[in-house]
Structure 1
Amino acid sequence: MKENIIQAVTKEIHQRGLRFSIRDVASQLGISTKTVYQHFESKEQMISSIVEHAVKDMMDIEKEVMANDTLSLQEKLYRALTVLPRRFVFQDVRILDELRQRYPQQWKVLDDYMNNGWNGILLLVEQGVEEGALKPFDMELFISVYVGALYQLMDQKRSDSRRMSLEEALAGMVDFLMYGITKQSPGKSYS
């Protein structure tokens, strides 16, 4: 039942953002709110569960990327920088902003990962610099730019015509950052 509730919460977030209610979740499942409360004490606990699973999933996906020997170093770096959980409910950048503003404890878990979960990427960068595929650069500055750009996107009040998914935002950011740190992009020569 707990997994069914999480799936219903995910649907509600896709439909309403974080403004859903426990009654909405119960109604969607055809159960009572009492049944929902038997598995989750609060809406905040539901959101915490989703955020914690998302962070764990991102860590697992990054490990898979790092272990994939069919990918070049640059492909691994790009994929690691654009990792999103397989079942991520915060696909719209505005929902991430809503999480930051309305649920600071849950946001802190995600924020800590975004600012501190760089070990695998640091290893890739060190390898890339050693092999000559990447120029030496200030990794702390890189992280600040990456996280700062994501936060800036959340702060932008985009019209619906410019609505950007988190996947699109990350891909765009990483494209900017990768072209700034690689000697050449895949398939292009700068001779």
Structure 2
Amino acid sequence: MSKERILDAARTEVIRGGFRFSMNDLSKQLGMSTKTVYEFFSSKEDLLKDLLDASLAEIVQKEQQLMSNSSLSIPSKLRQALVMLPDDLGMFDLQRLSELQRYYPAVWSQLDRFIASHWDEIRQLIHTGQASGELRSFDTDVFVQVYIGGLYRLMEQPAKGSWNGSTLSAALQEMVDMLLEGVLPKEGP
């Protein structure tokens, strides 16, 4: 039995039904004792922290690949970086994020710290784009705060009964489009 196998089963449970599964449910699915699961993870919260760590590591890796892609323009890199999510969106579904915040505040806090602090690459990209003229001059700190504020509002909406099943990916695309392109129609040639 491997730690990765347990994480894969937990990921499947999150996708299937959110965070309401128990360690006992997980052990039954894996055909092992609950004690064995607890040998790898001292608590369900520790298991969820490891799941989140894997998702965040994937985002960091994808961002590094994006930033090193010399065939993309700076505006294209910026757009892609701002909508980047892990391939496995189980924990990043809007309803799941609401559950995570409510029932697992320590795991939520880990995600919150990542969102608030993981801006060095994007700040550098913006500054490079401004210096080259590919981006207009604007206050990067305000931009980051508007993005973070918008992201948090998107993540809060399921708890308030809205979004009608929209995914975080779709909502994030819409927000980034407005942030980068504005809401006014483009003027003629």
The one-letter code matched in structure 2 to 1:130 is A
Q: Which residue of 2 aligns with 1:139?
A: 140
In structure 2, the residue matched to 1:100 is 101
AA in 1 matched with 2:5: N
**Distance in 1 between the 2:188 and 2:52 partners?**
41
Name the structure 2 match of 1:184.
Answer: none
2:174 corresponding residue in structure 1: 172
Unmatched runs of 5 consecutive residues or more in structure 2: none
Shift of 1:105: 1.4
Show the counterpart of 2:82.
81
Secondary structure at 2:88's aligned position in 1?
coil
* Counterpart mapping for 1:38-77 below 5 A: 38-77=39-78
Q: Which residue identity lines up with residue 118 of structure 1 in the other structure?
A: W
In the alignment, the residues of structure 2 paired with residue 126 and residue 146 of structure 1 have an alpha-carbon distance, to the nearest angstrom, of 17
* Paired residue type of 2:180: M
RMSD of aligned alpha carbons: 2.0
Contact persistence 2:52–2:111 (CA under 8 A): yes
Q: What TM-score do the two structures reach when normalised by structure 1?
A: 0.89
Q: Between Structure 1 and Structure 2, how many residues are aligned? A: 185
Query: How far apart, in 1, do the equivalents of 2:52 and 2:169 lie?
Result: 17
Whole-angstrom distance in 1 between the partners of 2:16 and 2:44:
16
- Aligned equivalents of 1:76, 1:93: Cα separation in 2: 24
Deviation at 1:69, TM superposition (A): 1.0
Residue 190 and residue 110 in structure 1: after superposition, are their counterparts in 2 closer, same or farther (change >3 A)? farther
Unaligned segments of structure 1, at least 5 residues: 181-187
TM-score w.r.t. the length of structure 2 is 0.90
**Does the 8 Å CA contact 2:27/2:33 hold for their aligned counterparts?**
yes
Inter-partner Cα distance in structure 1 for 2:187 and 2:132: 17
- Look up the equivalent residue of 1:53 and give its one-letter code: A
| Maintained 8 Å contact 2:154/2:168 | no
Structure 1 residue 190 displacement after superposition = 5.3
- Match of 1:69, SS state, is coil
Counterpart contact for 1:12–1:24, Cα < 8 Å:
no
- Write the deviation string for residues 67-126 of structure 1: whole angstroms up to 9, x where unpaired: 011111111111111111233422311211211222121111111111110111111111
Change (3 A) 1:113 1:98: same
Distance 2:32 2:19 in 1: 20
Deviations 1:3-51 (A, max 9, x none): 1110110111111211111111112112221111111111000001011
Percent of aligned positions with the same letter in both sequences?
39
| Residues 90, 166 of structure 1: 8 Å contact kept | no
Amino acid at match of 2:111: L
Distance 1:172 1:84 in 2: 14
| Counterpart position of 1:185 | none
Map residues 18-37 of structure 1 onto 2, 5 A cutoff: 18-37=19-38
Partner in structure 2 of residue 155 of structure 1: 156
Q: Given the superposition, is the C-alpha separation of residues 71 and 158 from structure 1 closer, same or farther in structure 2, using an over 3 Å criterion?
A: farther
